[in-house]
Amino acid sequence: MEFMSLEELNADQRIIDVIKKRGIERLNPVQTEAVKKGLMEGKRLLITSPTGSGKTLMAELGMISFLLKEGGKAVYVTPLRALTAEKYNTFKDWESLNFKVGMSSGDYDSDDEWLRNYDIIVTTYEKLDSLWRHKPSWLKDVNYFVLDEFHYLNDSDRGPVVESVAVRAKKKNILALSATISNYAKISSWLGADAVTTNWRPVPLKEGVIVQDRRKCQVIFQDNLTLTLNGSDAIIAYTLYTIEKGGQVLVFRNSRKMAETTARKIAAEMEKAPLNDKELLEVANRIKDVDDAGGNEKEELYNLSLKGVVFHHAGLSKGLREIIENAFRERKLKVIVATPTLAAGVNLPARVVIVGDMYRYNRKILGYQEEIPIMEYKQMSGRAGRPGYDDYGESLIVLRNKRDIEKIFEKYILSDPEPIESRLGNESSFYTFLLGILSTEGGLNKNEIYDYSHQTLLDREIVDDYLEKGISWLNENDFIEERDEKFRLTKFGRKVSDLYVNPFTAKTIRDYLSRAETSCELAYFHLLAYTPDGPSIGVSRAEQDQLIDEAYCPLFIDEPDDEDELYEYLSALKVALIVKDWIDEVDEDIILERYSIGSGDLRSIVETMDWLTYSGSHIAGVIEATEHSRKLEILNKRVKDGVKEDLIPLVQISGVGRKRARLLYNNKITTPEDIVMNPEKVKALLGQKIGEKIAKEAAKLIAGLH
């Protein structure tokens, strides 16, 4: 394996200076090979190498070299907002070379024209896809795209968007990055790029299994090294063993409930482990003070963190997840028990990764447990080994039966992940793709649409089949029209594309609102949640019987007979009831307990329903359903902050949320003008410092309005 000194780079000295400030003195073998293959000359590359092998630095070298030589702009794309923020903070280093770094995610009905002032733009795949549809002037100046975590191409949810972005981006200079692509030859050929692929890791990985056998557990590594530990729980036994040796542990479980239960069990045994009580108390107090989480989850995580253990899943608020991740990076927390979503997120290495479950429940097939994909295991195991702290990382799969050892080794440890395949091969994804093409490119004839669509990863025969059906369906449903032998978006199609909603979502909203009388708030929320873009949430057996009884007004959609459809119907109804409580100002802790959800779930539901009420209002406006549009517009203003209608004027002020707004309103401060006219009263209610800030923000808002 060859390393390259920074002096051998033949790069602008300013680039070398920035890298050296990070404590880097040489490039590792993956980075060296990428440089030799033309990374800094703007060559198109697909780089596949393990987690922690320095792919971000390769992206920086590629982007900065290109910008210094060619000018223009570079866009760095990630699949997750958390990653977007992480990369944005990293890239700020390059502002010393006078490159302005900007970041954008969310708010899909916007062209973000302000980004014209930035040279490096960090964003998500969804946001970039929506930007192309809005055609901001600055996008034509982007000639370099970095597509990070490119294996998301294989993800059933995000894959279609990743592929849509790649089809457009590969017309320019492109750098694609991934930890796991087994069929890299096919993917690099599709991108028109050279492949740089290696298994080199900065911290070697030892993989194996851990098998429970009565009151002992046996660890068997790939190199046949074995270890026997006492204990009736393999996860707890190996976790304690690792901590006693100064390591940190990531445990992955297949459900939130299992993650939380396992964290409690480990914490109960942690008095046997060496802990820094002062550091852990500081972490626990940060958890207690976070302001975007429910009281019960804060209390539980406070108590767990005092033992150096926490759980982590999407049900937690953003604030809680950030505290947990930072404390683990700082090596204060010793154990995180997480669901697999953490493995695909931010960079969070540990000495040991324990994969507790190789099966997960498939909700669509009652009682059916399916094996996890190899790709998912590779993502989890890739977190093992902390550069700078560990000589090697360990990844262990927990088995309940010795007879499974050979099978698990063969499938997960000794095999490559599943090949990357197109996820555009369904009506919903492909019709959305077609709508995006026409939105970005304008009017196209059928041959031009065919040529564009054949640039996807799908087989030509499948493309041709979906094209015929898609053009016909979009035409029949008034998304597109044919004029002068070219297909163009209709007014309705343009609005749907700008809103960045699925065409099937738009059709559902239009079909019901165009023929229905206005209804109650719950009915609107249920309709929006029942669309393909609606938030999905679990419904327990006990809840299924209760939910229908709680629908206190006629819904737009009748109860279906099909069992699968009924589950989706009830899930949408549960979402609707949650959002109704939210806008009625029900206390957040009561909502979380009433519906058995986490603060992260509530935030996610609110964010999605904020977007869908906004979209629904605009779709209703296009079809001239004026009363529906007006009602949805008011609901949109209420959903964002969770308020009754009388608080809408107050929550427009930055820093005024639902609780402060209600306190002010109950004390006869009902508008921004009231705040400006009564600053001393506001300070008395909210405190001197906050009151002063709110008064200034209210004045700014009034100045903007008038």
For strands 205-213 and 73-78, give the pairing: unpaired
SS3 call for 181 = coil
Q: Which residues contact 680 (CB under 8 A, 6 or more apart)?
A: none
Contact in structure between 694 and 680 (CB atoms under 8 Å): no
The Cα–Cα gap between 471 and 445 comes to 11
The Cα–Cα gap between 548 and 536 comes to 17
Contact in structure between 424 and 160 (CB atoms under 8 Å): yes
Alpha helices in 170-233 (DSSP H): 184-191
Structure tokens at 293: 């989480």
**What element of type H or E holds 78?**
strand 73-78
Contact in structure between 360 and 96 (CB atoms under 8 Å): no
Quickly count: other Cβ atoms within 10 Å of residue 83's Cβ: 21
The Cα–Cα gap between 645 and 664 comes to 15
Torsion of CA 74, 79, 82, 85, to 10 degrees: 10
The Cα–Cα gap between 251 and 231 comes to 17
Sign of CA dihedral 61, 65, 66, 71: positive
Quickly count: other Cβ atoms within 10 Å of residue 510's Cβ: 20
Distance of CA 390 to the CA centre of its chain: 29
DSSP character string of 331-385:
T---EEEE-GGGGGSS---BSEEEE--SEEEETTSTTEEEEPPHHHHHHHHTTB-
Distance of CA 332 to the CA centre of its chain: 26
Query: How big is the CA angle at 274 (ends 270 and 279), to the nearest 5 degrees?
Result: 95
Q: From residue 158, how far is each of 127, 207, 308 by CA, in Å? A: 12, 29, 34
Query: How big is the CA angle at 337 (ends 374 and 382), to the nearest 5 degrees?
Result: 35
Q: From residue 579, how far is each of 75, 122, 542, 583 by CA, in Å? A: 35, 31, 20, 6
Torsion of CA 632, 603, 605, 339, to 10 degrees: 170
Q: Is 31 annotated as a binding residue?
A: yes
Contact in structure between 78 and 347 (CB atoms under 8 Å): no
| Binding site as annotated, residues for ATP | 31
| Binding site as annotated, residues | 31
